[in-house]
Chain A
Amino acid sequence: MNDLERSTESTKRDRIRVEKDQIERYRELAGTGSASGKNATGADLVPFTKLSDVFMFAVCIGYRIKKRTKLDSREDLIYVNYLSEHTDIPTLQSIAVSETGGIEVLGNMNHLCTIAEEYANTGFEELYRVVSGPGKPLVNLLGTVVDSFPPQAGEETNVTR
């Protein structure tokens, strides 16, 4: 066994965790909370349909802010295998490789998830602030997404009509 493999022994992880006081708000954004808005249509739709999507946005916004915050009180959010193999996992891997500068983290799911969770811990507060601010949550989310696109000449930038 080489060094890298030796280090993978305590590297398994099967759940993604978030701060306990964020759980209910995660569910709110994904329409699985107490006010699910299941009858909403159009621009009134809840912004997310899965907790994993909320988490991924939280991670990416946290990375954008360039701040990781350690978790204080952990609560399980979802199973790791709820993350999509072709989008979510490679995104987290990219962030982890970029963060550590090495590929060792690819064999250490525990470390990879910890990096993601700490970025999400920061990013979620910003995500929630933006999405549940004035206006409709889905429209607010769309605004954030479009703002992150590279600019295009003559594009319609006001998505909140």
Chain B
Amino acid sequence: MRLLSLKLANFRGYYGEQALTFSTDARNNVTVINGNTGEGKTSLLTALIWCLYGGESYSPAELVNKRAVTEAHEGGIVQASVELTFTHQGIKYTVARHLDARVRADRKIDPANNSSVSMFKIKADGSFERIQNPSGVIESILPQNVSSYFFFDGEKIDEFAKPNQEAEVRESVRNVLKIEVLDRARTHLKAVAKEYANELAREATPEQHSLLEEQKEKETELETLRVNLQDLRKEQSAGRAVLEEISDKLGKLEDVREAEENRKQVQGVLQAKEEERDRLWLDIRSRVNEGGFLPLVSEPIERAIGILDQKRERGEIPPGIREQFLKDILEGHKCICGREIKEHSAEHDRITRLLAKSFSSELETTVINAAGNMRALHTRLFNIPVAIREAIKQRVELDGKIEELEQALDEIGSKIQDHPHEDVAALGKKRQEIVMRLGSISTKIELTNQNIETLHAQLDQLRAKLNRLDIKQKKATQLQQKMSVAYKAADAVDSICDAFAADMRNQIQDQAKQIFKKLVWKDSQFLDISLNEDYHLEVFDRWGMPARRDLSAGERQLLSLGFIAGLSRVTGEEAPLVIDTPLGRLSSEPRANVAKYLPEITSQLVLFVTDEELHGKARENIESCIGREYRLVFDQKTGSTSISQLR
């Protein structure tokens, strides 16, 4: 979606017809609308959203311009309307929504009808083609449930960066990436499979019946495990949030601030070392798998090389002389040196014997390659143990370091728990309990995952058994097959969904990190961003410690913005970013930084700003990207706003 123009008529503070055109230039991709508090910036954002999606949350009194109401006679109709023109995938559209209101004697208004919307495709020749289902088409271009990630109030945008927002983050990712579509497909397929199973049960033989019952029980068990897993993850998320709070509280108490800082640092280093150790194990496994078996067979490798060498010396190995070459000499009765070779001569016999030994080129290549590869293996026999021993040595050293760090962490923890100040000790003990509890939850999550996998495998086997049964009734056979296909399709969608979500999550994480690091002005303070499999959005400080709770309001805003921009990049949705008051929470230096990089993160950017937001260095940084600029002019006398174009 690329916005072209917006027209308002008697909409909120905008009296009469007002219009603006958005910049669509690739380089000057920013449209700036300047307006101070109360002058109508937010109304423009509301106009955009209302035009596309309507909204019963708005009453006519909130939408229809008051001046227009005052000027209308009693019983008259005042219409508030918004018209938006945009392109999407090369097609130009215009959407117009209006609301009629009847004026009462007391100058209040009643809706004359519900808001109505019309949509047209604008063809190349300028003619209009009406679209029959505007809501459906708009939904397919930019679904309402994801529009808030593209059109939003900059000051309220820090939701994603707040603690315990995993559900919201997860929802946004699933909405933008349309994972819900896959979910619905999965649910539907399972429902269809269950229907077939129920129908089959009525036609089933006793053996089939028994298997179907077993299948049903396992399906129920699987569902229970899934619910348990969700609950465990929620509990885990809540536990982590409490740990963060405790760390926060302790960090604010003077007595223990230093110890708590120290603990965080040690924890950060420990985490980094544990991750290093995990990577080392991966490396060790890789080395073991890729030839770790060779020392077990050093003897046959050496013997085979010996056999090949012997045979080469005895002339039994392909002499490397091509068959055709020898045939040509025999048929031509002439050597390459020009000498005549007569039949039954010694030379002729020798060449004939060589021909009998020569191999086809394919076989010759196999033998020659085998010899070369075996020698290469022999060299690796010495290198492999060296590399693996070195990796083990590093791992052992790391284990030692990790042990020391764990000990240090325990000591600090004990000091806090044994602190004379009661509150500190209580917090320390509570933390210890939660850490233990989280450990137990992690184990349960792992076990539950394993049980889910086992159940899946058992269900696969059951279904295979059902398929193999010798079914005499045709109807039962057909139902059996249909049920089997439905289950397989549901499982396939399941795998696709999980793999897709994981891949997209990683991509969003990478994009969000790139964007956040550009936007934030003290990027040296922040090491990394992660969006883990629980949809926990986290930023790590330079010590590798989670730092989301330490973010200022402005930094949270930028983290959320980074996440949203990352989302929009990954989804590939061609949609503009329309932000109301994007820089309000930032002081001048970060504001200037954000103004510099914001135009880069989207193809079309619309900003509603106050004068204070975009002046000085911030204005300077964004100036060259501005394609269109407007000022909202508020008339104190009439209480209405008009749009004045600046460039």
* 8 Å CB interface, A78-97 against B: 85-87, 89-91, 93-95, 97
Number of contacts between A and B (CB, 8 Å)? 157
A152: chain B residues at CB < 8 Å are 385, 389
Interface footprint category on B:
35 or more
Which A residue sits closest to B301, measured CB to CB? A94
Which 10 interchain pairs have the tightest Cβ spacing?
A34-B457, A98-B300, A90-B373, A97-B304, A94-B304, A60-B293, A60-B296, A149-B385, A53-B289, A148-B295
CB of B454 closer than 8 Å to a CB of A: yes
Q: With A34-B453, A149-B385 known to touch, is A138 a contact of B281 (CB < 8 Å)? A: yes
Contacts of B285 in A (CB 8 A): 45, 47-49, 138
- B76 contacts A by Cβ under 8 Å: no
17 CB < 8 A contacts A-B: A2-B359, A8-B363, A37-B450, A39-B446, A60-B297, A64-B296, A89-B373, A94-B377, A98-B299, A98-B303, A102-B307, A103-B317, A138-B281, A138-B284, A142-B392, A146-B385, A161-B396
Q: Which residues of A contact B308 (CB under 8 A)?
A: 97, 103
A93 touches B373 (CB 8 A): yes
- CB atoms of B393 and A4 under 8 A apart: no
What A residues does B289 contact at CB under 8 A?
A: 48-50, 53
Which of B304, B356, B357: most chain A CB closer than 10 A? Answer: B304
| Distance of A59 Cα from B359 Cα, bound (Å) | 30
From B277, B317, B396, B457, give the contact of A156 (CB < 8 A). B396
Q: In the assembly, what is the distance between CA of A86 and CA of B317, in Å? A: 21
Of all chain B residues, which has the CB nearest A30? Answer: B289
Contact B281 A45 (CB under 8 A): yes
User: CA separation between A61 and B385, bound complex, in Å?
Assistant: 17
Q: Is B75 an interface residue (CB 8 A)?
A: no
In the complex, what residues of A have CB within 8 A of residue B388's CB? 142, 145-146, 149
Name B residues whose Cβ lies closer than 8 Å to a Cβ of A.
Answer: 274, 277-278, 281-282, 284-285, 288-297, 299-301, 303-305, 307-308, 311, 316-317, 356-360, 363, 366-367, 370, 373-374, 376-377, 380, 385, 388-389, 392-393, 396, 399, 446, 449-450, 453-454, 456-458
Q: How far is the CA of A148 from the CA of B299 in the complex (A)?
A: 12
In the docked arrangement, what's the CA distance between A36 and B450, Å?
8
Binary contact track A21-56/B, C-beta < 8 Å → 1, others 0: 000000000000111110101110101111001001
CB contacts (< 8 Å) of B356 on chain A: these are 2
Specify the chain A residue showing the minimal Cβ separation from B399. Answer: A161
Contact digits for A1-25, partner B, Cβ 8 Å, 1 yes 0 no: 0101100100000000000000000
Interface residues of A (CB under 8 A from B): 2, 4-5, 8, 33-37, 39, 41-43, 45, 47-50, 53, 56-57, 59-61, 63-64, 85-87, 89-91, 93-95, 97-99, 101-103, 106-107, 138, 141-142, 145-146, 148-150, 152, 155-156, 159, 161
**Is the CB–CB distance between B392 and A146 below 8 Å?**
yes
Contact indicator B360/A5 (Cβ below 8 Å):
yes
CB distance from A22 to the nearest CB of B (A): 17
Complex Cα gap A50–B396 (Å):
26
Beyond A4-B363, A97-B304, A107-B363, whether A91 also contacts B392 by CB under 8 A is no
The answer to whether B304 touches A93 (Cβ under 8 A) is: yes
Q: Is the CB of A156 within 8 A of B293?
A: no
Complex interface: chain B residues within 8 A of A42 (CB):
274, 277-278, 281
A57, B358: Cα distance in complex, Å: 35
User: Are A63 and B399 interface neighbours, CB within 8 A?
Assistant: no
Q: Does A34 lie within 8 Å of B295, measured CB to CB?
A: no
Which residues from A are CB-within-8-Å of B366?
106-107
Contact of B359 among A5, A43, A150 (CB under 8 A): A5
On whether the beta carbons of B293 and A56 are closer than 8 Å, the reply is: yes
Q: Is the CB of A156 within 8 A of B307?
A: no
Residues of B near A85 (CB, < 8 A) are 373
Interface centre among A49, A59, A63, A107 (most CB of B within 10 A): A107
The docked-state distance in angstroms from the alpha carbon of A149 to that of B317 is 32
Which B residues lie within 8 Å of A34 (CB)?
A: 453-454, 456-458
For A99, give the chain B residue with the smallest CB separation. B300
| Residues in B whose Cβ lies below 8 Å from that of A43 | 281
Are A93 and B374 in contact, CB atoms less than 8 angstroms apart?
A: yes
CA distance A61 to B296 in the complex (A): 7
Contacts of A99 in B (CB 8 A): 300
Whether A86 and B373, one on each chain, are in contact in the complex, defined by CB atoms closer than 8 angstroms, is yes
Chain A nearest CB: distance from B642 CB in Å?
60
Which chain B residues lie closer than 8 Å to A45 at the CB level? Answer: 281-282, 285
Q: What is the CA–CA distance of A36 and B495 in the complex, to the nearest angstrom?
A: 14
**Chain A nearest CB: distance from B165 CB in Å?**
24
Q: A4-B359, A103-B307, A145-B288 are in contact. Are A91 and B301 (CB under 8 A)?
A: yes
Contact with A35, one of B290, B297, B454 (Cβ below 8 angstroms): B454
- Complex: A35 Cα to B451 Cα, angstroms: 8
Contacts of B396 in A (CB 8 A): 156, 161
The answer to whether B290 touches A87, judged by C-beta atoms less than 8 angstroms apart, is yes
Beta-carbon nearest neighbor of A41 in chain B: B278
Q: Which residues of B contact A94 (CB under 8 A)?
A: 297, 300-301, 303-305, 374, 377
